[in-house]
Chains A and B, each alone.
Chain A
Amino acid sequence: MAMTLLAQINPIASQESAEMHSMMHNNARYICGIVAHSKDRGVASVAIRSLAIAAETLGTRREQEEVLEIFERVRRETGWNVKFLGTELKVKWGWAEEMPQSMAHTSVLANFLPSPQSSLGPSPTPARPMLRPGILNPLLASADFSLAVHPYQSHYQPPNTNTNTQAQKNAYSFM
């Protein structure tokens, strides 16, 4: 997966360059081959994401359909919800019957995202700008009790720090 991604984001060589093209496709086919024949239910979470990344690069209908079958098998065997992945991929592959890409992606995110503030008050609708790529993970950006806005806002009391102030400083110093 790492190699597939790297091939897609080479700053000077485009994906169409021979070297990046083969790097991307070889590794993508490796991923598909591993996941297609894996019987290990425990690695499903990583397998799903790896396959989704690899599958974006597939060009033939037969390969694409097999990937969708693999996702369905994973769903049957593990319970992981992968239906939305099929939708996303079909859009990326340009299957004519699917809706425009921006809508598919946004609707998936809207389902996934909880309240953006991570607080326990009434939650506003997630703002659209929060869904754009490239930003710092919005779900975890404020996941730190030292911040003014933090998880469990209404309930959290700092732990007894009589013996632990230094320890906490140590804990945060390398984070």
Chain B
Amino acid sequence: MAPAPHDCTNTYTYRDESREIASEYKGGLSRYAHLDTEAAMITPPRDVALDFPIRSTVIEPMRNAIALAPIQTSGPYVDNGMESQPGSAQARGRKHSYGATDSSYRAQQPSTTSYSNTDGVLKSPNETRDYLRNQEEVLFMQVFVEEVGLWMDSMDDSKTFSRILPFHALKEAMLLDAFFACGARQLTLANPSYNEDKALYYYDTATTQLLKALQNPNRDPVICATTAVVLNVYEIMSETAMQRMNHIAGARALIKECGWSARSTGVGAACFWLNVGMEILSCLHFNWQVAWDPDLWGLDMNFGGRELENGQETVWVHRMLYIVGKICNFRASVPRFQEATHHQEQTRLQNRVAEWSRLKRLCDDWNHSIPRTMHPMAYLYPGQGPSKSCFPEVW
């Protein structure tokens, strides 16, 4: 249902910034490219975590100020104490932001589980550290945050992947390597002449560590699931099929094992929505039925709730994802064969009509219920503004 276009001829001016954006991106890329990647070999950090030989004014604020809250997530699995910080998850909401000093700061490291070096876990050259000090690692992490995390967090108000998890990753080698893999892979996408060896190296290293962790029944399930999700993203970004490692299915299985769903918060929510979102996009492409039935996400589809007052946009985005998922399944289940009897055929048709009408109603209700901020601000007919597009400008 197309809303009536607004008459903005007198009040709206438009400037085509797409060229500016493109050159800005190129500029950004050259900002990265000047780093001499030949010289930036992977070197083990000089410091062991928390054991600085020199205490400077730079380092002290780091150690006091980075009161990094434990990874926040919720779900049946986590509530029973398998998370890194027992008992802490429920006390805090999703209020933490990076760099914040929390008065109830707990001195524990985020990872206190037995996924540690004492279990003979493969140690990558990238040991845990307090901050990145390797030129290449900084490059890859920046690219990850600014290019990859950007879209991973597009439906996440907390910006978990681009603003929160990188700090946790400093203490979790396999997660850190997964981030580096994505950053390195993104560079190869942006510049085809950029060598993919580093991307492959980090992907292999992170995968190896994850597989090792999965052999340990006392592993940290949150870190494992999150790492798999990031490696899943890597695979999405890679152009060729992954024949042996399949984190696409692995991430989904680990998310389910953690009990994450539409009811989760924190990292669990971020992983869940990213994962189901990506599934829906690919099912739309290939006309498949989604493996995780939207009716089983645990999503509240009651449009009369409190979020109407708060104008909370993310909830409505999630609801539209649900609707699109249902439509995707409806489309994929378009009957291809005749039923045996005319009666059965008629019954099936009636059911299909009823379902179609229900979905249409859902769309209309959604459109009527979303906050004003989610509707367009402007509508210009083709030719009305300076844009040469033959499509209307909807902003």
Contact = CB atoms under 8 A, between A and B. Distances in A.
A174 B21 contact: no
A76 B359 CA distance: 36
Given A5-B327, A62-B390, A81-B189, A136 B288 contact: yes
Most buried by A among B240, B249, B336, B352: B249
Contacts of A114: 235, 241-243, 246, 248
Interface stretch (B63-71, B129-137, B163-171, B253-261): B253-261
Contacts, number: 252
A9 B217 contact: no
A102 interface: no
Interface in A147-175: 150-152, 155-160, 163-164, 166-168, 170-172, 174-175
B241 A111 contact: yes
A1 B390 CA distance: 19
A3 B331 CA distance: 12
Contacts of B370: none
Contact of B186 (A36, A79, A141, A172): A79
A128 interface: no
Interface residues of A, number: 84
B77 interface: yes
B363 A2 contact: yes
Contacts of A151: 246-247, 249-250, 252-253
A30 B21 contact: no
B353 A11 contact: yes
B160 to A, nearest CB: 14
Contacts of A32: 391
Given A12-B349, A143-B291, A6 B389 contact: no
A21 to B, nearest CB: 13
A14 interface: no
Contacts of B211: 152, 155
Contact of A79 (B189, B249, B391): B189
Interface of B: 1-2, 17-18, 21-22, 25, 75-77, 79-82, 147, 150-151, 153-154, 186, 189-190, 211-212, 214-219, 221, 235, 237, 239-250, 252-253, 256-259, 261, 277-279, 281-292, 296, 298, 320, 323-324, 327-328, 330-334, 336, 349, 352-353, 356, 359-360, 363, 376, 387, 389-395
Interface of A: 1-3, 5-6, 8-12, 23, 26-27, 29-30, 32-34, 36-37, 39, 41-46, 49, 52-53, 60, 62-63, 66, 73, 76-81, 109-115, 118, 120, 123, 131, 133-145, 150-152, 155-160, 163-164, 166-168, 170-172, 174-175
Given A37-B394, A150-B253, 18 more contacts: A2-B323, A2-B359, A3-B363, A5-B327, A11-B353, A63-B391, A73-B18, A114-B241, A120-B244, A139-B246, A139-B282, A142-B249, A143-B249, A151-B247, A160-B218, A166-B80, A167-B77, A175-B261
